[in-house]
Structures are given as structure tokens and as C-alpha cells.
Structure 1
Amino acid sequence: MNIHPKVTPIYQTSVFKFGSLAELEEYYTAPSHNGRYCYSRAENPNTDELVNEVARLEGAAGGGVATGSGLGGLLAAVAATCQAGDHILCPEELYGGSVVLLTQEMTRLGISTDYVPLAELYDLGRWVKPTTRLVLAEVLSNPLLTVLDGPRLAAACREQGVKLLIDSSFTSPILTRPLSWGAAMVWHSATKYLGGHSDVMAGVVVAADEALGHRLRQVGTNLGLTLAPMESWLTVRGLKTLRLRMRQHSENALAVARFLAAHPAVAQVYYPGLETHPGHDLAQAQLLNGLFGGMMSVRLHNDTAEGADAFFQRTQLFPLAPSLAGVASSSSYPLGTSHRGVPGERRQALGITAGLIRLSVGVEEVEELLADLGQALGG
């Protein structure tokens, strides 16, 4: 019987069978295992399909690894490039989960991290040490949407002989392809836009060159980070609509940002699609397809926890949730979630105040979103 499925089946198996010792030996000695599979911690057809598709979208010749969460991808990237005694540089404007992983966990393993204001990080020679191995930066910072000059930072990293890892979770390959700037790796929390439906936890990191891609896969296997088959299948399903979703997310978000910028209850809107955003020109020149993404943050005039909580309790279409980038809109509270583990004085310096709300704009009818925001803000 010939079976030709249009969609890759789910290989929900932990192991694959061999018919002889010769087949087993061929698996371990042939280049790329000669298309065979052995143990899903190392590789699985569904996981390979996900990595290959993200690598194709990113132009990543080296391939990479899919992991059980977004932070698993960061762990794989750090473990693939750093060892005890090494040093990492990051902008101060960085997702709180990344800060906690680097500061609380990697330091215990002898890998140190310094945080520099993004505007100063481009002068990389001031900050690198002989042990600096990696620079991590976000295309659009979480949560205030500071726009990275990716080509400029990549050039500085090349000059200093340091690898650049870009977190593209807010933008996806539809808006940015950091390897084309000269980054060594691009990392996604695939839980966000790649999966897109708030029903999967996953991370993907892919590399520009084959040696680094091989090391990522090796680390994923050795540390047990590799994503399971079902989650890989779900994420691949999400990728099939990524281009369509990113266009609608971006179109809706621009309308929402313009509405909020004119609302009397809103003190400031952080969205690079607005002409008033300090990074607008850079974003317009650097982001692809004329899109600015679906993420923004809003600071209320009532810059208090009470003001923010009133919004969360009134809204019907932006429920309070700790993640982002699903087809359904949501809101988040950086002070109490993503940056909860960041010291208070540093949060204050970064502008993460009690009245700051992060919005993930979905693909619903935009008129419904605007009406809900208006009533939630008391308008």
C-alpha cells in the first residue's frame, strides 16, 4: 500500500528499531546517520522538520536545534559557545527571563554576564574582555520595543571576534533575518509567533555555519533539551500560517497603537510603527515587508498598580496572561511577570513602572479590539 500524506505524520515514538547490528553500526558511522533515526532525544522526523523549516526561513546553512522552551534555546546557544570562565555581553534592555537564566544560573557554572545600555553597546571595544565569547541582543527589546541596529552590532562583533546571538522572538523570520546581518545564531521562543496559537512550548536556535549548528544539536542531545515530536508537529503547523499571521498582527497593532496614542488615559505608547517612536526610522529601514509586528507597551497616565489592575479587570479581549504572540490578543504586566526577577532599582531605571502594560495584538477584527480597549481604559 502506497501512502503519501500531505502533512508529515506525528512520529510519537521515543525509539526507532534496527534489524541488525550492521544497521546499528551504519547509523553511528554514516554521515548524518544516513537518514536513519535511533532515539528521539537526539533526533526525530518531526523535530528535524521544524529545525529545517526555521533554518530555511532564516537562511541558516548550519541548521540547529529545537528545544522544550524558549529559554532552552538560549541555554543551548550559551552551552554551544561558552565554558567556565567565559563572558557574555548583553544590552540592559533585555527580557527578564534571559537575565535570570544568565545571572542566576550561568554564573553558578562560571559564565559571567555584563549588561550595557544598548546605545553604548555598539562601541563594543569598550566592553569586551579577553574571555568574551558571545553577545546577546533582541531585535525589539522586551518590553519597551527599543529597536536594535542589527547590522551595526554584527559589524562590531565581527571586528572584535565575538559571536552574536539575536533573539528574534518578537519579529519572526517574516520581519527580520539576523543571519544576513552577520549574526552567528538566531534564537526564537517558538512558543510565541512561530507556534502562534498559545498551545505549544518550544524554542529554536539556528546557526549560520555547519560547525556551530552541529554543536547546537550535540548540546541539545547531551543536555536533554530536544523538543518532543508532538510539540514539533504543532510548531510546524503554526509555521504554515506565519506569513499571513504576521501581516494581520502588524496591521492590527498599528491601528491599536494609533488609537492608544490619542487616548487621554495613555501617557506613552511604545510601538516602532508609530512615527513618534525614537526607533521608527531604523525599524522602517531594517524590518522586512513594511511590517512592525504585533507587540507594544503602554504606560498609563495613572502609573500605578491600581491603574493597571483596573484595565486588566475591565478588558474582555486582552486577558492578563504571562506570554504573547498568539492569534488571540492578550495583555501582560512586566513588573509582575517577565521582569519580576530583575532588581527593583534596575527595573525603575529601565522604565518598567507600575503602570506599564504590554499588549500582544492578535488577529481579531480590529474594530472589536479598539472598542474593547476604549471601554477598558474608561473611554
Structure 2
Amino acid sequence: MRPTPLPESASRPVVTPLSPSVVYASDTPDMLDAQYDGDLHGYTYSREGHPNADVVAQAIDRMEGAPHLGVLTSSGMGAVSAVLLGLLKAGDHVIGGNQLYGRSLRMMAEDLPRLGIETSMVDPGDVDAVRAAMRPETKMILVEVVSNPTLRVADVLGLSALAKEAGVLFVIDNTFTTPRAFKAFDHGADIVIHSLTKLLSGHSDVMLGYVAARDKATNDRLRVFTVTAGMTPSPFDCWLAERGLLSFDLRYDRAQATAAVLAEHLGGLKGVKRVIYPARHDHPDHARAEALLKGQYCNMVSFEIDGGRAAANAFARGAEGLNFAPTLGDVGTTISHPASSSHRALTAEKRAELGMSEGFFRVSVGLEEPTALCDVFSRAVEAAVG
């Protein structure tokens, strides 16, 4: 039985309609064939695509300058998985930045080797080290422009040249920087990844990922893999993400401006051992950040306080009004503690190598009034270290 058709209207909805239908009916087998063959555009089964996903993909395509319709996935890690599992095979080798997001690190350290895909984790700011890690079977280099959570800046231009020279795919996770700060395709990326869960959607109520490739055949392979693996995004999450994208530029600019204020404020507090923000002249990659990001330093600030877990607990309790949560990109400021969340699977020694002690925090700055936010951090640091 067919549903009752929607009433006709001379006007149109201002908000994109939510399309929760799982199945789309075609008139004849010939029509269905034409859709699958690409001769006729239409939806068939929502695992293979649906209107709300395409609306969001097109919006991000415009922001990133993607040459083909990007692929939405059910999470940011879905997009990472689509690239690593959808394009690599047993016997291949991939090089990853050694300070990737914790789950990306885990996939490269544990899951890919189990499937016969070899991995090397290298400092993405050291092109010579990446070159030394290259092998004949290397197929891909994967980095974040600004690493999570230590905010190191990759040598994107050097890595892009190396990847082109070696004939390997250069993959950029642009989640932290976003296309507002950095156009990955313009800087040599072959594939761009986003966790839409974060700043692009921006309200902590969406779980989505995005991936797009410069080469159409590669883009098609990614799409086919996500369909086969069932990485289908929810229409409702896509609908919410579109709403978030409408205010993205305003949210990004406000949060980034406040992040710069907060970083400066934290640098003057007793008990704060170091502040990590690419705009600061004491950042180890400041010159590279200036050249790449051109003043768009993102809304993330990391810092370290004196003391161990007890001090970290006291700081989290003292940050009244802020959410202590393993997320980023919300309209409100959130604080995370990598040792107990994103990088908890690493040993304490390994975290120390990466610069993450028990007193290390990552801040995703939101839309609060800057002075009030700085006051909260002052009280929280005092509560932690006296």
C-alpha cells in the first residue's frame, strides 16, 4: 500500500524536510536499473544514500572544494575506517602521524596489523622521518593538520610533496582546523576526513563523519565500501547537522577569538606549567602554523597543571559550569583529560612521550563571554594547585 501523497503547495519549506524513509519505490525494473547504472538519479535503499545525507555532503563539499560528492558516515571513526579499510589490503603499509586521535592510533596500532596491513607512526612535522619510514609497499600517509590533543602542526606542504613524489595517497583529517581555517585539497590532500560530530555540527547531538577524495574512482570506492560495511548515517543526524552548519562560521570565529584570550590567560596563572596554542610564540610549531593557517588557529587550547591525578580531579571539580566530557566542538566550553579518555589505552610512558601527563587537559572553547570563562579557569586552577 502506497502512502498518501503530500498535499501540493505553491510555496516551499524553509527548513529541509526530514526524510526518514528506509525504502524508495521505483515505477519499473527498468527505472531501478537506470538508477543503479547512474543514468537516472534517484534513491533506492537508505543504506545506499538518502536526501538528508546528500544535502549535508554537498554543503561540506562546497566548504572544502571537493570535486565529487562526499560520503557521509555514521561517525568520524567511520570515515577514518572507510579510508583505511576500504582502500588498503593485506601487504600494504601506511604511515600515520604519531599524535593522531586516540581511536585512530588504536586502529593503526592494533586492528590494521591484525588484518595484515603494516603501520608506522611518525612525527608529521618531520618530513625526513616520514621519508625514512617509507617502504616500497607504502600506500598512504594519514595526518591531522593540528593534532589531537597536543596541537602540534604537521608539515603539510612537505608531506604533500613527499606523497606526490612517492605516488602514495595523502590523507588529511581536517576535523580540528575545519575548512574555515584550512583548505586541505588546496594543500595537496588526496582525501579529506571530518568528524562532523565536532565543530561543524557543533551542538553535541550529532554523530557523523565525512570523507571525500580528489580522484573520482577513489571516491567511488569509498562510497561502495561504506554502503557494504553499513556505515549509513542517520537522516535525523544529517538533518541536525545541516542546522549546525548554518551557524558554523559565526560559532567558529567567536570560539577561536575566545580561545586566544583563554590561552593568554592560562599562560599567566600560577600552577600552569605550559600552554599549547598555535598562535603563541612559544608553540614549537608557531612559524609553521602562521604559514599554513594564516591567523586561523582554531578553538582548541591544551595546557598542563602541576600535580598528578588528584590535581586533575580537583581541577575538573573546580571548573564549575563547564562540562568535563570527552568531546569537542559544542556551543559550550568542554574540558577533556586524555589520560582518562581518548588516550587511556596508551601506557603512562607512551603518553609521556607524546607530552600528555596526568595534569594535561584539552579545552574545546565554546561561546561563553571571554572574561567569565577566564574567571572559571582561574578558580579551577587555584582549586587544583593552590
TM above 0.5, yes or no, is yes
- The CA deviation at 1:238 is 1.1
Q: C-alpha distance in 2, partners of 1:57/1:267?
A: 37
- The CA deviation at 1:111 is 1.3
Is residue 123–residue 156 contact of structure 1 (8 Å, CA) maintained in 2? no
Which residue of 2 is the match for residue 18 of structure 1? 26
Q: C-alpha distance in 2, partners of 1:278/1:86?
A: 33
1:30-77 residue CA offsets vs partner (Å, 9 max, x unmatched): 33xx22100110110111111111111111103321111110000011
Which one-letter code corresponds to 2:330 in the other structure? G
Which one-letter code corresponds to 1:116 in the other structure? V
Which residue of 2 is the match for residue 252 of structure 1? 258
Which residue of 1 is the match for residue 329 of structure 2? 325
1:188 has 2:164 as partner: no
1:69-123 residue CA offsets vs partner (Å, 9 max, x unmatched): 1100000111332111111101222211101122222222211211112343445
Aligned with 2:180: secondary structure?
A: helix
Is residue 124–residue 160 contact of structure 1 (8 Å, CA) maintained in 2? no
1:6 has 2:18 as partner: no
| Alignment partner of 1:141 out of 147, 154, 173 | 147
Q: C-alpha distance in 2, partners of 1:30/1:142?
A: 39
Q: C-alpha distance in 1, partners of 2:144/2:204?
A: 21
Instruction: Judge which range, 137-146 or 1-10, deviates more.
Output: 1-10
Aligned with 2:351: secondary structure?
A: helix
Aligned residues: 375
1:48 has 2:76 as partner: no
Is residue 71–residue 97 contact of structure 1 (8 Å, CA) maintained in 2? yes
Give the alignment's Cα RMSD to 1 decimal. 1.4
1:338-379 residue CA offsets vs partner (Å, 9 max, x unmatched): 111123322111111111011111011111101111111117
Which one-letter code corresponds to 1:74 in the other structure? V
- The CA deviation at 1:250 is 0.5
| Alignment partner of 2:225 out of 208, 219, 226 | 219
Q: C-alpha distance in 1, partners of 2:145/2:128?
A: 14
| Alignment partner of 1:292 out of 297, 304, 308 | 297
Q: How many percent of aligned residue pairs carry the same amino acid?
A: 36
Aligned with 1:377: secondary structure?
A: helix
Which one-letter code corresponds to 2:32 in the other structure? L
Written as runs of structure 1 = structure 2, the 5 A alignment for 1:152-163 is 152-163=158-169
Which one-letter code corresponds to 2:163 in the other structure? C
**Normalised by the size of structure 2, how large is the TM-score?**
0.94
**Normalised by the size of structure 1, how large is the TM-score?**
0.95
Which residue of 1 is the match for residue 279 of structure 2? 273
Written as runs of structure 1 = structure 2, the 5 A alignment for 1:190-209 is 190-209=196-215
Which one-letter code corresponds to 2:322 in the other structure? F
Q: 1:93 to 1:136 in 2, by over 3 A?
A: same
Instruction: Judge which range, 321-330 or 270-279, deviates more.
Output: 270-279
Q: C-alpha distance in 2, partners of 1:269/1:123?
A: 26
Q: C-alpha distance in 1, partners of 2:38/2:122?
A: 46
1:200-244 residue CA offsets vs partner (Å, 9 max, x unmatched): 111111111211111111111011112111111111211111111
Instruction: Judge which range, 347-356 or 105-114, deviates more.
Output: 105-114
Q: C-alpha distance in 1, partners of 2:185/2:129?
A: 20
Q: Which runs of 5+ in 2 are unaligned?
A: 1-7
- The CA deviation at 1:127 is 1.3
Q: C-alpha distance in 2, partners of 1:151/1:83?
A: 27
Q: 1:125 to 1:284 in 2, by over 3 A?
A: closer
Which one-letter code corresponds to 1:282 in the other structure? R
Is residue 99–residue 342 contact of structure 1 (8 Å, CA) maintained in 2? no
- The CA deviation at 1:7 is 2.3
| Alignment partner of 1:377 out of 370, 377, 381 | 381
Q: C-alpha distance in 1, partners of 2:72/2:24?
A: 19
Instruction: Judge which range, 170-179 or 59-68, deviates more.
Output: 59-68
Q: 1:324 to 1:30 in 2, by over 3 A?
A: closer
Aligned with 2:362: secondary structure?
A: strand
Is residue 124–residue 157 contact of structure 1 (8 Å, CA) maintained in 2? no
Q: C-alpha distance in 2, partners of 1:207/1:63?
A: 9
Q: C-alpha distance in 1, partners of 2:30/2:238?
A: 30
Q: C-alpha distance in 2, partners of 1:171/1:361?
A: 13
Which one-letter code corresponds to 1:82 in the other structure? L
1:134-156 residue CA offsets vs partner (Å, 9 max, x unmatched): 11101111111001121221111
Q: 1:121 to 1:336 in 2, by over 3 A?
A: farther
Instruction: Judge which range, 147-156 or 250-259, deviates more.
Output: 147-156
| Alignment partner of 2:314 out of 307, 310, 331 | 310
Which one-letter code corresponds to 2:14 in the other structure? K
Q: C-alpha distance in 2, partners of 1:300/1:230?
A: 40
